Structure 1
Amino acid sequence: MDEIHRISEAVYVEMCDILGTPTLVAIRREVLDIAEIIRTQSEERKGERIRLGGSRREGFGSVASDVDCMRWRTDHQVICGLNHANIYHSERCTLILMECSKEIPGLAMLQLLTPTHYDSVRQSCIRICDGLYISSALYRENTMGLFRHNSTQHGPCASGQDGETEYDIAYGFACKQWPSVATSFTPRCQSKRWPPNHVLSDVITLGCHVVPIGLKGSPKEDLEWRISFSLAEQKIIQCMDHTQFMCYGLLKLFLKEVLLLEDSNGKPLLCSYFMKTILFWVIQNETVKDWNPSNLLSGFWSCFKFLLSCVYHAYLPNFFITENNLFISKVFGRSQRLLCEQLFEMYNQGITCLLQCRSIRDVLTGAIGCRQYRISTAESDIIPEIHKDVELFDELDSNDIVAMSFSNVGHCFGTLYSTVKNLHVPNLNERQRVTFRKYISTILRSTVFHLYKTSNDLSNKGRLRILNVCLKLLKVSADMGFFSDKIYFALLLHTVGKNSNAIQFLSTIKEKITKSYIIYDRIVDIECYDREIGGLPLMERMRKTVAVNIDLRMIMIKELEFEFSLAARNFIDVPPYVMVLMLLVLCNRGNPQKQNEALDELYLLLHSDEGRHIKKILRGISWQILGICQEVCEDYQGALLSYQKSLKEEPHHNLQEATYLRIQDVQCRHAMG
């Protein structure tokens, strides 16, 4: 075997280990595709669309901790010409004309053609001659705080941090037509035969978007909007083979860890969008004839040389609008010269320049230094089968944001009906069927939440009828979801006063939740899982093994209402085992022996667990819950110690104020009694 091919295979396997094997990437995309289908059904009722973008949507999974998305109004439509105006009902839809810039391809001005009822648009309009134009700068300013009031500008996006997650949200507009400035894209792709015709057809159908950012320094910067093909790019990335996708990942790592030059404003000179564009051009131009694991480094080197050429000429053509130079106002002058020098130095080093990339340095050093270094690129030799289950269940949990996207019961039932219909679409694979079922479980739980809220305004008889419906729906939800979803059923039983039923249900859960085959926070005993669960259908494996944190936005427990009212974003999630033991303490108020047994078990869990049952960032709320349970059992000294321990943990929910107030309350009680 040629040396470069052998080393390439070693790097390929390492990249699969870092970023995901073909099946893991497919799992991430399938889950996001289905979540998007369900969210679209939900969003249509709100007159808004949200599309996830960035690395996570491309399939890089949890490696991509940030969230990028685009939001736009469905009742505002951008058209490429006045001849398209008759497609839409102007009384239902605000029409916006895209006037593409002739001087700077890829930019456009937006003329408002019909009235708008949307304040952010109306307040962003500027009259120029006889036309009303939407200012990109004003629109950016007017939408900046829609998601979080403390968001800051990052390019066209509102950027900030939501808990542990960094976000970039672009508020733009959709255009269902393919813009005239990109008409050469289709014949070029057809002649080059990439992307394939069926993908190309989908890409054209998607149209484009406009996002609020102009060319820096342009006289019309505050009026210019950038034409975005982000949805088209997602389609193209998904048609790549896995070696091409790993090359993309390698380029992103190389950018992040090696190409660290900054521009005059102290911002990174290059971005991952440049790397994606370069890879598109390299694939389309067939610079690499055969993409496979043994040619990964050849693919990377072709991209590197393409980058070097673009930097040298200060010209990187946009993949969709070739006249649009992505390097304009970015790579020029001193920055261009320094980057050129860095890249030429690396070019002279050859492929060993990758040794500067710390993520793959060890495996690259080993492969270069030992000619006997051989490694299989077969997926079955890279990861065990259980990793596919863990990845699927983790993606289902982390993308379960459909849970909070419903505004009322009718909204829930409408989405439930559409989702159940999707479940019967032919040719779904087993993972996709399980994904739909899990989201049906989530929608049912949301339905219960809204029904339960409405029951407070009813007569006793009406309320009882609604509560019985809620319990039945939640039982169905628990049977279709994760193992830990059963806790919501027990939680509702406790909330409505059916403590004896809840105790029976919780005892069964407690017996199983400590089993080694239970998956919590991606931790599981692989041998035990294979032995006890491995032969079961995927749906059964999910129902029996997956434990995730309990989201108390759905059904609030009275004893935590104080914490909930003061928590960051009014959000509290609790480790499932901790939630079970807390409920057993509360449900056994009339049985001191059983109550103390549950309290002792919770005490031992907090003092002995090293991450198996309590995620590190949730130790604070767990100590808080132990303190509350100790107060319930009138152990005020123990409660005081638990609250003090809660203060020492990572403030994930920002409960310090609640904890200090509880400490004061306990100290007063202790002093009085």
Structure 2
Amino acid sequence: MFHTPDYYHSISKRLSEVLDDIGVNENIVMKRRRAALLTETMDTITYRANGEQLTVYNLGSLSEGTTTLGLKSDLDILGCVDNSIVIQDWSEWTPGKPIYLMIQNEKTPPGYCLLQVLRPGAPLPVTVETGNDFVNDTQGRILMKNTVIKITMLGRQRQGPSAASPAQPGFRALDLVVAYPCKSWPQSARAWLHQQEVNTWPTAEMKRYAKSTKCFVVGVGSRASENAAFQWRISTSLAERCLMFNLNITQIKCYILMKMILKTYINVENLDHESYISSFMCKTVLFHCIASNPSCVWKECNILNCLNYCLFTLNNCLLNEHCPHFIDHENNLMAGKFSTEVKQQLLERLSTLIPFDGISLFGIQIDKLGERLQIKLNMINEVHHDIPLPDECTMDVTSSLLHNIAKTVLNIEKIGDGSLETLLQKVIQLKRYYRAGDMLEKTACRLLVPPLCTSIGSLIASQNIQINNTVSPQAITWIAAGLDSDVASSRLKLASIMYCVGNAERAALILSHIEEQYEIEVTAPICCCYNVMFYLKRGFARLSSQYGVEALKYIVAFCVKFFTWEINCVPHELQYEMFRSTQEDLLHRGEDDDWMDCAVVDSLPYLYFLQYKTNSLLQRPDEQQQALTKLGWVIRTERNLGHRETALNLLGQCMEQENRPADALQCYMSSLHLRERNNAARFHICRCLANTNS
């Protein structure tokens, strides 16, 4: 390490406090990690329940807890295709799965490999394979191109091995990588497992755990290679995540500061707007620095010195164009990464930061870090600066995590036809996972099962209503099992069923209970049918920071979704939504738009709509008008509605029933303005005009 000037300790302490304030503390780091592990478990279980052999891993800064709100880190997801396997040698061959032999030779760059296609029924190579995704090499082997992994998700572009969804206002950028699992660790990475560390980091225990993790191959070749289309990158991302999970808070803070410096001073105005020095390089540099220095160095009072050493090491890597991967040392992360011109440009920018005296931190605007540090050092007056308080940062982070978990819960119903057989099969699968799973899997199942139970009960009730206009005890039992999924949606389904069988008194009681529980300033409507901008409510943020995932029951309201099989549980006004699409509209759908075949409505508007209808049956005109007023009010004022156009369609039909055709048409036109295609408002306009002219 460098000689430490006296003022370094003072700045380091204040800098560490600033990072604490913006959410880089042990509490928030652990919350981020737990949320990431829970959502990846829920996603994996959801895929498995839908019959897909895919394991999901949340990787990168968000899962490690090595980010801040201002860094706006990408969401990195790796989907492991479990029904395929990559082997190192013939002794690992097993029958039944698509299987590939990893080939590494003098022509494959370190960290990369070729994949030879083998027969699934015998330990023999495939000799004939047709299609653009395969090639015959000079030795007669059938190799698989990395283009075989096709990611065609709507709105995402392929970037290397991933499908990329760019950041949009209110939404993170997403990188989705599809990978094949290796049966054992690649030979090139095994040396690291047995290497003796001088400073006991990583520890033997960390390496033992790392050895138990999977390795993957992802479909991208080396930039420095002429045969990039045939190459696959070897990934030890789970072992790297293990290392990140074992960093202390000073090391995490150092890494975050490196990323902030990179974003502010290094990766700006580069040619092609490319980030030539990646955050993964910074992470690798940090690993090397930790491994080569005693653990006693990494203290918060020494953070500036640690940062200086990391930047100096990064500069040396750049100077030599050599940044060895921490696990596979032969893999140079900077090989072919940039031209001589770009290298010189980067070196010039780094040279202004080394030695790092801390002054450059004042210029970092991310999370207002520079201003915060100057306030801590009494250099400027806090009164004149709009700086969020630490508690506000905590609430922003935790509310974002809870919102993401809530959306992940809804994914369980996104895939599938909504038939009774499909839903029951999902519940059976989740029951198996719960019985055999660890605490994380049990928590995931507890969150995923209730919405399915409600849908099963509603579907059975729909069948009952069709046969004899009653609801069986079996249907009620299933619905009851799902009532605590959230504040409102499951109970609204029950109220809807009671209304449809003419039991208005019971429906009114259920609706009254929902309204009591639904705190407007706290409860957050959550929808995952499509990307909906989420506006944070301070009440929601406050409670999400105090409680864990159990808060879903009390401060989240999912949208209410009826599959076509549940049509008899749906008032006729909402049934139109199941038939919203003309033949022309179908051409304007994306592959994630299956929800458009359902009747979907936000909880609060549906609550007031059902109150309007039940009070009409009960001949309570005052309460009916109050419900109508509230329905119009919530459409105007609730910013988080995912299906505002549907709420407007319901309001329009209420207006027609009030004999206010002009107001009804205004509602339908407003609805059509929000969603031009695949909108039942078109039918309502035609009907309303026909009735007006008749």
TM-score category, normalised to shorter length: 0.7 to 0.9
Counterpart for residue 579 of structure 1: 606
Once residues 625 and 449 of structure 2 are traced to their aligned partners in structure 1, the CA distance between those partners, rounded to angstroms, is 36
Question: Which piece of structure 1 moves more, 52-61 or 521-530?
Answer: 521-530
Indicate how the Cα distance of structure 1 residues 417 and 571 shifts in structure 2: closer, same or farther if over 3 A, else same.
Answer: same
The offset of 1:27, in angstroms, is: 2.5
Counterpart for residue 132 of structure 1: 142
Aligned-partner residue type, residue 50 of structure 1: V
2:449 is aligned with 1:449:
no
Counterpart for residue 105 of structure 1: 110
The offset of 1:291, in angstroms, is: 3.1
Does the 8 Å CA contact 1:125/1:135 hold for their aligned counterparts?
A: yes
Once residues 518 and 191 of structure 1 are traced to their aligned partners in structure 2, the CA distance between those partners, rounded to angstroms, is 53
The offset of 1:123, in angstroms, is: 5.6
2:631 is aligned with 1:602:
yes
Counterpart for residue 664 of structure 2: 639
The offset of 1:468, in angstroms, is: 4.2
The offset of 1:439, in angstroms, is: 4.3
Aligned pairs for 1:211-360 (under 5 A) are 211-261=218-268, 264-286=271-293, 289-347=296-354, 350-359=357-366, 360=369
Q: Deviations over 1:460-482 (max 9, x none)?
A: 669977x6434322222223545
Counterpart for residue 68 of structure 1: 76
2:158 is aligned with 1:153:
yes
SS for the counterpart of 1:561 is helix
Aligned-partner residue type, residue 215 of structure 1: S
Once residues 207 and 309 of structure 1 are traced to their aligned partners in structure 2, the CA distance between those partners, rounded to angstroms, is 32
Once residues 9 and 492 of structure 1 are traced to their aligned partners in structure 2, the CA distance between those partners, rounded to angstroms, is 61
Once residues 198 and 498 of structure 1 are traced to their aligned partners in structure 2, the CA distance between those partners, rounded to angstroms, is 63
The offset of 1:77, in angstroms, is: 0.8
Counterpart for residue 87 of structure 2: 79
Does the 8 Å CA contact 1:416/1:443 hold for their aligned counterparts?
A: yes
SS for the counterpart of 1:97 is strand
Match of 2:175 among 163, 168, 174: 168
The offset of 1:626, in angstroms, is: 3.2
Match of 2:578 among 558, 561, 573: 561
Counterpart for residue 49 of structure 1: 55
The offset of 1:318, in angstroms, is: 0.7
Counterpart for residue 205 of structure 1: 212
SS for the counterpart of 1:49 is strand
Aligned pairs for 1:355-366 (under 5 A) are 355-359=362-366, 360-366=369-375
The offset of 1:586, in angstroms, is: 3.7
Indicate how the Cα distance of structure 1 residues 166 and 173 shifts in structure 2: closer, same or farther if over 3 A, else same.
Answer: same
Q: Deviations over 1:376-431 (max 9, x none)?
A: xxxx97579978975664343143255236652353233331343368x5xx6xxx
SS for the counterpart of 2:357 is helix
Indicate how the Cα distance of structure 1 residues 578 and 480 shifts in structure 2: closer, same or farther if over 3 A, else same.
Answer: closer
Structure 1: gaps of 5 or more residues: 374-379
Q: Deviations over 1:417-456 (max 9, x none)?
A: 1343368x5xx6xxx6xx9557424323224435755887
2:495 is aligned with 1:486:
no
The offset of 1:272, in angstroms, is: 1.8
Q: What percent identity do the matched residue pairs reach?
A: 18
The offset of 1:322, in angstroms, is: 1.0
2:517 is aligned with 1:512:
yes
Q: Deviations over 1:535-592 (max 9, x none)?
A: xx9787653x312341526677524334588676244775432231123234444246
Q: Deviations over 1:354-386 (max 9, x none)?
A: 23321212112223454999xxxxxx9757997
Does the 8 Å CA contact 1:110/1:134 hold for their aligned counterparts?
A: yes
Does the 8 Å CA contact 2:79/2:178 hold for their aligned counterparts?
A: yes
2:189 is aligned with 1:182:
yes
Does the 8 Å CA contact 1:277/1:318 hold for their aligned counterparts?
A: yes
Q: Deviations over 1:201-230 (max 9, x none)?
A: 221111311111112252221111111112
Q: TM-score, normalised by structure 1?
A: 0.81
Aligned-partner residue type, residue 679 of structure 2: A
Indicate how the Cα distance of structure 1 residues 510 and 108 shifts in structure 2: closer, same or farther if over 3 A, else same.
Answer: same
Does the 8 Å CA contact 2:605/2:631 hold for their aligned counterparts?
A: yes
Aligned-CA RMSD value = 4.1
Would you say how many aligned residue pairs link Structure 1 and Structure 2? 635
Counterpart for residue 529 of structure 2: none
Q: Deviations over 1:245-265 (max 9, x none)?
A: 233233223333332246654
Once residues 208 and 481 of structure 1 are traced to their aligned partners in structure 2, the CA distance between those partners, rounded to angstroms, is 38
Q: TM-score, normalised by structure 2?
A: 0.79
Once residues 81 and 594 of structure 2 are traced to their aligned partners in structure 1, the CA distance between those partners, rounded to angstroms, is 27
Once residues 69 and 503 of structure 2 are traced to their aligned partners in structure 1, the CA distance between those partners, rounded to angstroms, is 40
The offset of 1:515, in angstroms, is: 6.2
Question: Which piece of structure 1 moves more, 349-358 or 585-594?
Answer: 585-594
Match of 2:99 among 78, 95, 110: 95
